[in-house]
Structures are given as C-alpha cells and as structure tokens.
Structure 1
Amino acid sequence: MGQAEPATESSWQTPPTPGWPALRGLMPANVRIGSAVDGKLLATDERYRSELAAQFNAVTAENAMKWVNLEPSPGVYDWSESDQVVKFAQANGQAVYGHTLLWHSSVPAWVSESWPRERIRELLRQHITTVVSRYRGKIWAWDVVNEVLAEDGSLRDSLWLRKLGPGYIADAFRWAHEADPDARLFINDYGTEGRGRKANGLLRLVRELRMAGVPVHGVGFQSHLRWDRAPEDATGNLRRFAALGVSVAITELDVRIQLPVDAEKLLDQALLYQHMLKACLAVSTCESVTLWGFTDTSSWISSHYPGFGAACVFDSDIRPKPAHEALVQELTSRRGTPPG
C-alpha cells in the first residue's frame, strides 16, 4: 500500500470514500460505531485517514493513550500522538473513546514496586487526574481500568492489587469522575463477551462497585474472537450486565482467521462480526461497537497469534471484505432499506 506525505493539521478533515456503504451512516442514532486508530498510519496514509473518517463516528487510540507511551519519563508527558487522534476526530465529527487509564501491561518501567504504598497511590491518582483533565470535554468515555480479572474471575495479581489492595479499582473510577464528571466511565476486559467464569466474576465486581456508589457507567467487552468460536449466549450475557443499570459496549472487536484464508473462513468471520453487532444492538443500553482496527494492514493479530491473521473488515489494500458487507446487511435490515 502506498504511503502519502505526513498529514498536516489542515488536512485532518477528510472527504468520504465513495464506492461502498459507510457504517457510520447506518448505525442507530444512539449507538456509535468506532475503530481503533493506528497512529503511524493516521499521520502518513491518506487512504487510511479517508476510510477511517468515512466509516466511523468514533475512534479509540490503539496505543497512544496508554500510560507507558504518555509518560516515558517521570513527570514528562508526550501528548503528540494522543492529541493527533483527538484533532482528527474533532475535524471529522467523531467521538473519542479513551483507552486506557490503568492497565497492568502498560506501567512505565520507571515505576517501582519497592516504593511505599502511599507514593504509588498518589502517583496513580496524579496520572489519572492529569490525563482525564487534559481531555475533559473532548473524550466521551474512558476505559478506566483494563483487564483487572484473572481467567477464573478473581482479581488479577498485579502491582496495583499487591500494593494498594482491591480498593484501587474504586479509587481509579472516583478520580476519573472528579477530573471529568461528564465522561462515561467503563471497566474493560477480554474473554467476558460470553457466559463463563470470567464473565461471572466481572458481573460480581460491577455489582459490588455499583452498590458501593462507585461511578461505573459501563462495561466494555473486548471481543477478540476466533472465526470458528462464537461466545456462549453473547446477547443474554450483555443483558444481565445491562440489568445492573450500566451501559454495555463492544470495545475491541476483531475476528482472527487461521491461515491460509479461504472463502469459507471469510464467511464464518463475517457471520461472527454480524453476530456480535446484533448482540449489542439487542441490548437497550448498548452505547458503542468498536472494531480493533478496520484494516488488516494495522492489525495486531499476526504479532500476537502466530499462524493467524486477516482479522479485520477491510483487507490490507483497504477494500471491504465479506465481514464489512455483513455489518452493512445487519444495519440496513434494521433500517428497512436495501443495502448499498
């Protein structure tokens, strides 16, 4: 795929791409459709920017807002890439979903577990307050805590749990809410989109936090799926979270395929994408569906799952795959209009 010259701020506003339906124009008015954003492609590739603007009315910074990237040295923040995402979104009428304030895999190397408890707690408070305050009014929702559960549904063993105890989760939500009272605050995890032990643990945790008055507004279900394995009762699972009084969102949807790719696998992939969209839209509190990258060019799958790939709804040439068509079909059928 050819690379364009680096974008200037004046070129952020990008015209729609003709030729196939845009998902953002088909979604229900109360539900956003989003994509994770690759910062390098956003800065350098015009075709990528054009399709990102045309297809989605929400964006999530894939890596730019993670702590390890924002604060590489103590007290020294690098806002360049995260600001770039926000500016692009503002220029193209897109909401920004912030990802993520606290994640065990994104702790800067200069943070030491040997530090006293109060020093670590204050460091965490300062980080959350600094980041949320910078983007107050510009980011509609945050993943406040990310992947805090182990596979059995118990709290994950992490620096934060060891040093601060389980109360760090509630503290993080309260600090984020103080910094931006209007932002929607989510807890986000993987392997919870279908019924199972981990989903049960997340349900218990959200119920406990809500009963304690913690401002948990929504639950994010990452949904990194295999083409041949559908989650167990995704719709029913999302509905039981909604019954707690929270919003639900599909936050990181992709469907990886075991290579080599063939037509049958692409069809199975398409049906699973459609299944997850349908599951969220069947829940009254569904707020957004976000794809974890929309083109195979920027997908993280090949580097983390050897032998798998082709996980997105557009191919590496930024052309729609059957999965994109399946999403269009699902949305147009709900609108009562023919696709295309």
Structure 2
Amino acid sequence: MPKTRLRLAGALAAALVAAGLATGPAAQAQEHRPTLADLAQRHGRYFGSATDNPELTDSAYTKILGSEFDMITPGNGMKWYATEPRQGVFDWTDGDRIVNLARRHHQRVRAHTLVWHSQLPDWLSSKEWTAGELRAVLKKHITTEVRHYRGKVYSWDVVNEAFNEDGSYRETIWYKTLGPGYIADALRWAHQADPHARLYLNDYNIEAVGPKSDAYHRLAEELKARGVPLDGIGLQAHLALQYGYPATLEDNLRRFSRLGLDTALTEVDVRMQLPATDEKLAEQAAWYADLTEACLAVRRCVGVTIWDYTDKYSWIPAFFPGEGAALPWDERLTPKPAYSALLEALRQRTVT
C-alpha cells in the first residue's frame, strides 16, 4: 500500500480547516481551494458522487454536490423499478431530475443500471417467462431507456453484479432464463441505442485479484475477442476496514487496461464498525487516499465515484447494522479526515 499514513497528521489538520473549525491565513486560503473535481481534472480524471432523489430537497447537501464533483451517478432513479414500473409504461421523472441537476452544474452522468437482478418491479420478477418473452422484454427496456438518455449521459453500467464470489455466474432471472449470452446481448442493444455512451460491467468485491475479478477478466477477454461493444469495468469498491485493504487493486486495474478497457472505481465507500474512533477515521482516510492513488497510477482508470458523499445519506447503516461512518463527509456535512486525504492524494500524485 502507498505510504499515505505519513501524511495523515496534515490531513487531520486540513480537515479541521475545511470544516471551518480553524481560523487565520490557512483557513482563509481554504475559501479558494480547488475541489476534488478540479484536482482530478489535472490528471485527466473525474471525481464523482452518487446521489438520490429524496436528498435533492436538502439545499446544503446539493450545494456541495454541485460544486465538489464533476460526475454524478443516480443511485436509484434509473433502475428498472423506477423507470418501467409497469410493463411497457416508462417513467423518467427521477432520472431526468438528476440529469437536469447535473447539467445545471456542468457535470456529466454515469447512468446506473440497465440489467440487474435486484430492485425489479413485481410484474417482472413474479412471472415465469419463456426465453423468447424475457429476451424481448429486456431488449425493449434497454433500447427505450438508453435512447431516452442518448447524448445526455457519459456512460452506462449495462450489467450489474453478474457473478458470484467464486467466479460462477449469479443465478439471476436473466442467467436462468437466457443463459450467459444475455450480457453480450445487453451490451449490443445499449450500443445500438447510443453509440457514443461508454458501456461498463460493474460489480463489488472485484477490487483485488481473485476468483470473481478473474471471471470478469475472462468474460471481458471473450467479449472483446467477439467484437462485443464493451468499454470498461466498474469496480464498486464498497470496502470495510475489518476485512482489509485490497492490496492488489493497482495490479488488477492494470490487467484490465491491458485488454484495452477503461476502469473506474464506481461506488466507493469505506465502512467501519461503530463507534467511529480517531484511529479508525485515520485508517479510513489512508484507504481513500490509497485507492485514489491506485487509480491515478493506471492511465486507463478514468475516475473515482463515491457512493454519495456524506454519511447523512449513506446506504450502509440500513444494510450493515452496527456499521457506518463510511464517507468523506459526516452526517452534518462536515469534512472528515478522508476528505483531506483525498485532496492530498490528488495534489501529490504525479500526473500520468
């Protein structure tokens, strides 16, 4: 791992300044400091955040969202249950609102997600489909949604979480009914609907080299060999302090690059067992810096997106009881040591 811990004392002090808890020349200088997006752009990268529609009524939240980041991912508003709640009846309300918000702030959008086994509407998940029926449903959904956002989004997470931890295919409605070919079909249909959008496969626990990331490497190699339109691999990077840092992250990014693919860290958070302590927050800060440095070290790693930027709207506590404090801003929208560690990593790393 990079030696980011040597810089943590400075990061802790800078966090106090960024939070407005210090005064004097250093604090005044912070008023004109570059943002995460500003610093990432110097490396030819982006730095983004997920967001979701309920929090868009929080003006303090949207002020930071609109100023600190240059890439936005809709957390839920483009998923199937939101966009096609009834078969053949499409609703773009939530997705459009986030796209329009991003446009007002001169931000791009990573669109998420077209094909997933979760958060499907009942009409889809509760029915037994023939292969022909389900293939037609999938093609129509992808084609209709991608065409609606054609020219408005930077990329799509086309297929999300297709593999199990051991590298076998996840037994989803798509795999069980259509077989593994649904992935290539989904990519082709998305490309036909918007030839300029970057197309990704996206998953968690593929940050390190291992069975699950090996499966994606094999699949990507096969898809590329067959001429299937695939532009990148999204590594979600939902990390937890108690499970250890993925030390082979940079090597893993490089091997996907060698296939001619972009990579991105797409859903980053670093959770911990509560309560948070200064020691845990310092370790978290080091992890955020380390994963950012790994991306900056690999030319085809195009950017980092955190999975919403503040603990106030984090998904973690609801899904991992007793865990949380996963993001660079706390529940009061105050920057934590992780935020300053990110700034420092983006400042210090040699541009590649």
- Normalising by the residue count of structure 2, what TM-score does the alignment of the two structures yield? 0.88
Name the one with the larger helix percent.
Answer: 2
Distance 2:186 2:325 in 1: 36
Tell me the CA shift for residue 319 of structure 1. Answer: 1.1
Q: Say whether 1:183 aligns with 2:194.
A: no
State the alpha-carbon separation in 2 of the partners of residues 335 and 276 from structure 1: 15
Matched, 1:313 2:299: no
- SS of 1:240's equivalent? helix
Counterparts of 1:39 and 1:195, CA distance in 2 = 35
SS in 2 for 1:256: strand
Deviating runs (4+, > 6 A) in structure 1?
Answer: none
| 2:204 counterpart letter in structure 1 | Y
**Counterpart AA for 1:140:** Y
Unaligned runs of 5+ in 1: 1-16
Per-residue displacement from partner, 1:115-172 (whole Å, max 9, x unpaired)?
2211110000000001000010000100000000011011111111111111100000
- Residue of 28, 51, 57 corresponding to 2:70: 57
Identity %: 47
In structure 2, distance between residues paired with 1:257 and 1:21: 28
Q: Deviations over 1:83-116 (max 9, x none)?
A: 0100011010100000000001132210144222
Partner SS, residue 110 of structure 1: helix
Q: Which moved further from structure 2: 103-112 or 315-324?
A: 103-112
Give yes or no for the alignment of 1:266 onto 2:278. Answer: no
Return the alpha-carbon distance in structure 1 between the equivalents of residues 251 and 326 of structure 2. Answer: 25
Alignment partner for residue 296 of structure 1, among 308, 311, 318?
Answer: 311
How far 1:335 sits from its partner (Å)?
6.5
In structure 2, runs of 5+ residues without a counterpart are: 1-29
Specify the alignment match of 1:155 in structure 2.
169
Is the contact between residue 98 and residue 141 of structure 1 (CA under 8 Å) also seen in structure 2? yes
Deviation string, structure 1 residues 256-295 (Cα, Å, up to 9, x no partner) = 0110111000000000011111111111101121000100
Residue in structure 2 matching 1:251, options 266, 270, 273: 266
The residue number in structure 2 matching 1:211 is 225
CA apart distance, 1:232: 3.0
CA RMSD of aligned residues (A): 1.4
Asked which structure has the greater RCO (Cα within 8 Å, sep 6+), the reply is: 2
Deviates more, 1:140-149 or 1:101-110: 101-110
CA contact (8 A) 2:241 2:271 kept: yes
Deviations 1:309-340 (A, max 9, x none): 1100001111110000000001111379xxxx
1:27 aligned residue (35, 40, 43): 40
Is the deviation greater in 67-76 or in 165-174?
A: 67-76
Aligned to 2:112: 99
- Pairs aligned (count): 319
* Preserved contact between residue 113 and residue 159 of structure 1 (Cα < 8 Å): no
* 1:7 alignment counterpart: none
Question: Which residue of structure 2 lines up, in the alignment, with residue 81 of structure 1?
Answer: 94
SS of 2:269 mapped into structure 1: strand
1:286 aligns to 2:298 (yes or no): no
Secondary structure of 2:304's partner?
strand
Scaled by the length of structure 1, what TM-score is found? 0.91
